[in-house]
Amino acid sequence: MISLPLLLSYPRLALAVVLLCTATLASCQESPAPYDFHKYYRFSQADTLRGAMSPLRDCYDVGYYRLEVKVDPVSKSIEGRVGIFAKATRPFSRLQLDLFPEMKIKSIKYQGKKLRYERQHAAVFVDFPQDVKGSFSLEVSYAGTPIVAEFAPWDGGFVWAEDDDGNPWIGIACEGMGASSWWPNKDHLSDEPDSMDIIAEVPAGLVCVSNGDLMNVQENSKTTSYHWKVDYPINNYNVTLNIADYVHFSDTLAAEDGEMLPLDYYVLRANEEKAKAHFEQTAGVLEAFEHWFGPYPFWEDGFALVETPYLGMEHQSAIAYGNNYKRGYLGRLKPDELDFDYIIVHEAGHEWWGNSVSCNDHAEMWIHESYTTYMEALYVEYHHGYDMALRYLGHQKGQIANRQPIVGPMHVNFGGWRSSDHYYKGAWVLHSMRHSLPEGKDWRAYLQALYQEFQMGFADTKDIVAFSSAYLGRDYEPFFRQYLYHQDIPVFQYHTEKRGDDLVLSYRWECFHQDFAMDFQVMVAEQNHRISPTSEWQEILLDNAADAELVLRDDLYLVDKEKVRR
């Protein structure tokens, strides 16, 4: 998803942050308690029902959805039915589905018979006449007026717009809010179906683009039905409909092994020629990401960009594009020498991190966003060189707020970040890690190994920490614990003293965790020196150096600096 600048002030939270930041400058023994989200946020029963993997959810695993939905732009309503094909993980007689109250349930059928159910908030509790074992299926019929997104993609819901000719132009963005805002499903990140069919009926004359491959188009008397098939696991929030007077054109990308990947584009009719020129950059984006991580993940489903009435979203194999054919983020891009479309780069990056590798809880969305934000810099590095990538990261660094930990509270479907730190700060955490790798370890090889370990599956923070520690041969738990679970960043404390013609540099890390350790670089006379600070004071002798020549390489690390007296 796209990062959002802080729009509102939160006085109570700001006060707490000031107090915590002030306390951090004290010694580690006097550091404040870890940040407690529950102190600043109230989580309701609805939050728990939505975010927790309860016994009524983990008793079954969904393998396949068949979603059939009819969309009426005039009444701004939908109706449909969903086939849910699943397997019991243990015998049960009651389970939880999810569907927002705005959607009316007509019936829930099992083995051809209607089941009893009750609703609480967005949860639907379904009762079975006897214990369910093994494979089973449900059919849920429903209808209603879905929530309208007022500020998509940052809030969730349907977007009902029109193109310049007055034709309906409809999109959906529901990350965070959840797919259950418009279709019944098990709405938890940890359960992705292995495949899915999406059949959408729309007014005649309009085109509907969804995820995967287009299997069939059926002309009805006043409507047209589009059948799309997804052949890979998919996050429920990635399931989407895009409805408009679209024109379609295509291209291909030659992968490193020579295989050709189809690239499909669906744009408003008036924008066809402009889009053909602008989207030529897409192949270079996917080429860069293949270099860093490996081939495009959803090969059989292809890759598509679909023009939407909102800025963008990483809908798997059907990425929402609404950046108005501008460079950067709606025309803003630093450094000025660069010329690429932010939405294409960022949302395409999510195909690797977020769609192929997915987290299990919204609290750990850094796994989606931090890696993808760093992929922007990797794209710049691939096409424009390392120095330009450092300049790009330098501009991102100014967006870091350090207001909250990057990892949020678990099991409550958390989306209440007060900044974009799980984007920009998370990217800088990875940047810091890159420049403190153990000697002889290669960053690109590590990224590829990490991605391949979890591709087409799930990764928690603890999984990434464990893999990184094993692969790199160093314990990365203190590193990630400090950067991800505390809002404050490490402080590089240092002292300098002349000793003849030489300079003595004393240094240590001052931070929440005394076991934090990260290699760091300093430079004198354009010569880099790699040091290994801990919480204990150490020193290094820099030959023929003056204090004015000392450069602390904070362009490579996310740290604060503090010169102290000893």
pTM of the model as a whole:
0.93
Q: CATH fold of 54-243, please?
A: Immunoglobulin-like (2.60.40)
Burial of residue 29 (CB within 10 Å: 0-12, 13-18, 19+) is: exposed
DSSP string, 239-256: ---EEESEEEEEEEEE-T
Query: Hey, which residues does 394 pair with through a beta bridge?
Result: none
- pLDDT of the residue at 4: 57
Q: Beta strands 60-72 and 195-203: pairing type?
A: parallel
Cβ atoms of residues 506 and 472 within 8 Å: no
Distances (CA, A) of 159 to 77, 100, 172, 240: 12, 17, 6, 12
Q: Residue 11 has what pLDDT?
A: 33
**Helix (H) or strand (E) segment spanning residue 50:** helix 45-51
CA atoms within 13 A on the CB side of 411: 7
- Judged by DSSP in three states, 457 sits in strand
Q: Is 238 helix (H, G, I), strand (E, B) or coil?
A: helix
CA distances, 383 to each of 54, 127, 281, 422, 477 (Å): 46, 56, 11, 25, 33
Kindly provide the b/e burial profile for residues 441-469, where b requires at least 16 CB atoms within 10 angstroms of the residue's own CB: eeeeebbeebbeebbeebbbbebbbebbe
Structure tokens at 112: 């051809």
In whole angstroms, give the CA distance from residue 493 to residue 523.
16
List the domain boundaries for the chain.
11-45+351-485, 54-243, 491-563
pLDDT of residue 22: 35
CA dist., res. 488 & res. 34, Å (int): 10
Tokens 């000392």 — which residue? Answer: 550
Look at the block and give the residue holding tokens 């990875």: 430
Asked if 282 contacts 325 with a C-beta cutoff of 8 angstroms, the reply is: no
Q: What is the pLDDT along the chain (566 residues), one digit of tens a residue?
A: 887 543 333 333 333 333 333 333 333 334 456 789 989 999 999 999 999 999 999 999 999 999 999 999 999 999 999 999 999 999 999 999 999 999 999 999 999 999 999 999 999 999 999 999 999 999 999 999 999 999 999 999 999 999 999 999 999 999 999 999 999 999 999 999 999 999 999 999 999 999 999 999 999 999 999 999 999 999 999 999 999 999 999 999 999 999 999 999 999 999 999 999 999 999 999 999 999 999 999 999 999 999 999 999 999 999 999 999 999 999 999 999 999 999 999 999 999 999 999 999 999 999 999 999 999 999 999 999 999 999 999 999 999 999 999 999 999 999 999 999 999 999 999 999 999 999 999 999 999 999 999 999 999 999 999 999 999 999 999 999 999 999 999 999 999 999 999 999 999 999 988 899 999 999 998 899 999 999 999 999 999 999 999 999 999 999 999 999 97
Write the single-letter amino acid at 360. Answer: N
CATH topology classification for 11-45+351-485? Neutral Protease; domain 2 (1.10.390)
**By 3-state DSSP, what share of the chain in percent is helix, strand and coil, each rounded to 5?**
25, 35, 40
Token output for 189: 């990140």
Provide the pLDDT for residue 2: 83
**H or E stretch covering 81:** strand 77-88
